[in-house]
Amino acid sequence: MERFFKRTRSSGPSGSSSSNEPNVIEQVENQSRVGLNLDDIVSDPGLRKPIEDFDIAIPDQARREYVLRGSCQPNGYVYPKTTFGNQERSFQGTWYKKYTWLEYSISKDTAFCFWCYLFKSLNKENVDNAFIKDGYNSWKRALERFNRHMGIVNSCHNEARIQFEAFQDQRHSVENILRVHSRDMEIDYRTRLTAMLDVTRFLLKQGLSFRGHDESTSSSNRGNFLELLEWYSQRNEEVSKVIKQNAPANNQLTSPKIQKDLTRACASEITLAIINDIGDKFFSLMVDEARDSSVKEHMRVILRYVNKEGCVIERFLTVVHVPDTSSHSLKMAIDTLFVQHGLSLSRLRGQGYDGASNMRGEFNGLKSLILQENPFAMYVHCFSHQLQLVLVAVAHDNFTVSEFFGYITMIVNISGI
């Protein structure tokens, strides 16, 4: 039966398809088949299930499949003769030429309308069901009946024809225009986002600040992020076409919030690379706690490990804000951090902190809390802190040096307020 389908893939009704341009119907064909059972697409119009009986999400997919296959016009078929009065009449294959919508059902020996089947209006009262549901088989007055089915300009059949042609010519349909438009917007968005990411990566690599004191358009220096973006766009035409006035006002991607999001994304990628580099190897932990200028306690975490090449690597992992610097708070923060990054305390083989009691305390220091869980996590007193202690002790014995550092401390404290 499939051989009777008239293929319509290559050209639309208006002849708008070009051999160089991909057929839009073909482009969406693969997507559209999702959810559609191809067994429901029946060639014989007399055996088809009504298009409205397909699942609510499917009719358009079914239509697309039928349009791709074309109408059922069994050329070369010997049409059976039926006796009308004293004459024998049959369906004529030559009718297809004039009535391109015409279909023939071999199983029922009846004629159907392809366009009306696909796009009949359910709301109209004068739908010609003879060519949709039941099929027409009175061949004596067939041509007259065909013309009557086509009807006047706004007949159901002609409305179906308009819809059928629009459906075939999807390149010019509103849906397709919107789709092409949104595709262009997406390409612009990706270019814009990549430019923002490039600027972010440069600033992060160089350890430069992002924001400026005055970021208004009249400012002579709008901060590193905006200034670098401006410089970049002046040298890259592709970028200049998609930022500032060439970008939607609500999609500039330059707000501080977006800058932070991009920074977090970079941090996340870097952390992931560090964790992947550690893999399932042993590692050591170095932690120091401090209070920042906003009087917030935080803990800096560094991991030390041997990589695949046998080199000792030290990587700064993160800064974690903690409610206080008690050993239990720090331990809890480390546990959370390890869970977050898939690290295991059992693979810890060393820990290095300063000499503060909350860190190296024999009973309740962070060192002891970790050793209780993993006795192999050997503690090493941070050499830098040890050096500092030595210098302080030496300086105390030399009055001039001691006085010098005393004044330095006072100056720093006064100017730091």
Judged by the rule CB under 5 A, the positions of this chain that interact with Zn ion are: 113, 116, 157
Smaller CB separation from Zn ion, 72 or 113? 113
Task: Calculate the alpha carbon distances from 196 to 199, 244, 291, 385 in Å.
Answer: 5, 12, 32, 40
Instruction: Provide DSSP, 390-404.
Output: HHHHHHHH-HHHHHH
Neighbours of 268 (CB within 10 A): 10
Query: Nearer to Zn ion by C-beta: 118 or 320?
Result: 118
Beta carbon of residue 142, minimum distance to Zn ion (angstroms, whole number): 14
Query: What's the rounded Cα separation, in Å, for the pair 101 and 79?
Result: 18
Shortest distance, position 157 Cβ to Zn ion, whole Å: 3
Helix, coil or strand: residue 255: coil
**CB-wise, 67 or 377, nearer to Zn ion?**
67
CB of 117 to Zn ion, least distance (A): 8
Cα Rg for the chain, rounded, in angstroms?
39
Give residue for tokens 């010609």: 128
Kindly tell me which of 106 and 116 has the beta carbon lying closer to Zn ion. 116
CA 195/CA 226 separation, integer angstroms: 11
Of 116 and 334, CB closest to Zn ion: 116
Min separation Cβ 2 and Zn ion, Å: 23
Strand blocks (E) in 90-208: 102-105, 110-113
For residues 102 and 92, give the distance between their C-alpha atoms in angstroms, rounded to a whole number.
Answer: 11
Return the number of the residue (111 or 116) whose C-beta is nearest Zn ion. 116
Q: Which of 183, 189, 188, 162 is nearest to 27 (CA)?
A: 183
Q: Which two tokens stand for residue 7?
A: 């293929």
Task: Residue 139: name the closest of 193, 187, 102, 188 by CA.
Answer: 102
Residue closer to Zn ion (CB basis): 114 or 225? 114
Q: How far is the CB of 114 from Zn ion (least distance, A)?
A: 8
CB of 127 to Zn ion, least distance (A): 9
* Sign of the CA dihedral running 355, 359, 363, 364: positive
Nearer to Zn ion, 157 or 331 (CB): 157
Q: How far is the CB of 180 from Zn ion (least distance, A)?
A: 31
Nearest approach in angstroms of CB 6 to Zn ion is 16
CA-to-CA separations, 378 to 59, 90, 304, 371, 382, in angstroms, rounded:
69, 98, 13, 8, 12
